[in-house]
Structure 1
Amino acid sequence: MSDFWVFGYGSLMWNPGFDHLHAEPALLHGAHRSLCVYSWVHRGTEARPGLVFGLDNGGTCRGMAYQVATENWPTTLEYLRAREQTTMVYKEHWHNISLDSGQKVEALVYMVDHGHPQYAGALPLEKQLEIVNGAVGKSGPNPEYVINTAAHLDEMQITDTGLTWLAGQLKSIVKP
């Protein structure tokens, strides 16, 4: 492999935090974006968890693919592990993805671990709203994360009716 690819589906889409050669919208088959992870660090605490996105089994997911130069790969991987693996709720996997340009590449993705205590599963939207509203972690308020992700999906013309509803509810509750 001359370069490496990373697939972002949540905050990595709008805040990758690492150097990359190229970013392009992409499609992952076999997993879908889901607000299915209790956040104990970045957007909540163990005492007052928030919710963050995970890649869960089944379906498809549109996101952003980042091409990382070989010489930057060790630093990028170290950064991603520090960011994504704080509590080991995700498992690193390599999956084939389809870039919007038509190219197919293998990318690093972070899949949620169903056996981890932070796995929330599929929660009703009202329960998601209850959990997200008011949760805060070291990376900031949980509503901000959900609203920013929804806005970025809108910009990319990715439809997620549940997330759109949730972001709308949060915007009406959370005042700047």
Structure 2
Amino acid sequence: MFGYGSLMWRPGFEHVETRKARLFGYHRALCITSHIHRGTVEKPGLVLGLDRGGSCLGLAFRVSQTRRDEVMAYLRERELVTNVYHEKLLPLWLEAGEKVQAVTYVVDRRHEQYAGALDLDNAAERVAGSRGLSGPNVDYVLNTLSHLHSLGIRDHWLEGVAARLTRDSVAPRPAP
């Protein structure tokens, strides 16, 4: 399984190994409108998706074969709530250069929740005041960025969004 957002800091499933991995052909982006977990219909937030182009550094989770069906059922329930993601089996390159196949969730650009490519100010504005069932949208962004930094992973675009959020006096909150 490939984690690039909240799955990195809250996978929610049993795994036997975690390693840094890079996915080519997709990049991490706040490109999905959230009206359930990080926003509402009246005040939608944004969550991360893998969008076309570039590459993304994240985490590869290895799951034991005996837990595979259980983990896949959990992930499908978690990630495919509104069908904004396509589940794909894609190649990842681990830190040591080893190539593995991983289940990956990429954004469906035709889905109504696809927000497209947003500039930093627009993304920060949408994130700043949104709150959903899983809490404030700002927490999601700052917790993801904090986890990326703890792993030594830089995401300059997400850092730019966070800088605007914190500049506008949005105080970071601890991870749930």
Q: 1:159 is paired with a residue of what secondary structure?
A: coil
Q: Give 5+ residue unaligned stretches, structure 1.
A: 1-5
Cα deviation, residue 102, structure 1: 2.6
Residues 27-66 of structure 1 mapped to structure 2, 5 A cutoff: 27-66=22-61
Question: Residues 36 and 119 of structure 1 are in contact (CA less than 8 Å); yes or no, is this contact kept in structure 2?
Answer: yes
Cα deviation, residue 51, structure 1: 0.3
* Residue of structure 2 equivalent to 1:87: 82
Distance (Å, rounded) in 2 between the aligned partners of 1:141 and 1:96: 33
Cα deviation, residue 41, structure 1: 1.2
* Letter aligned with residue 20 of structure 2: P
* Residue of structure 2 equivalent to 1:174: 170
* Residue of structure 2 equivalent to 1:101: 96
Identity, in percent, stands at 48
- Number of residue-to-residue matches in the alignment: 171
Question: Residues 147 and 170 of structure 1 are in contact (CA less than 8 Å); yes or no, is this contact kept in structure 2?
Answer: no
Question: Residues 147 and 171 of structure 1 are in contact (CA less than 8 Å); yes or no, is this contact kept in structure 2?
Answer: no
Cα deviation, residue 55, structure 1: 0.3
Q: Give 5+ residue unaligned stretches, structure 2.
A: none
* Letter aligned with residue 174 of structure 1: V
Any idea what the Cα deviations from partners look like across 1:106-126, whole Å, max 9, x if unmatched? 000000000100000101111
Distance (Å, rounded) in 2 between the aligned partners of 1:165 and 1:32: 15
* Residue of structure 1 equivalent to 2:128: 133
What's the TM-score once normalised by structure 2's chain length? Answer: 0.93
Distance (Å, rounded) in 1 between the aligned partners of 2:132 and 2:66: 32
C-alpha RMSD of matched pairs (Å): 1.2
Question: Residues 38 and 52 of structure 1 are in contact (CA less than 8 Å); yes or no, is this contact kept in structure 2?
Answer: yes
Distance (Å, rounded) in 2 between the aligned partners of 1:87 and 1:123: 21
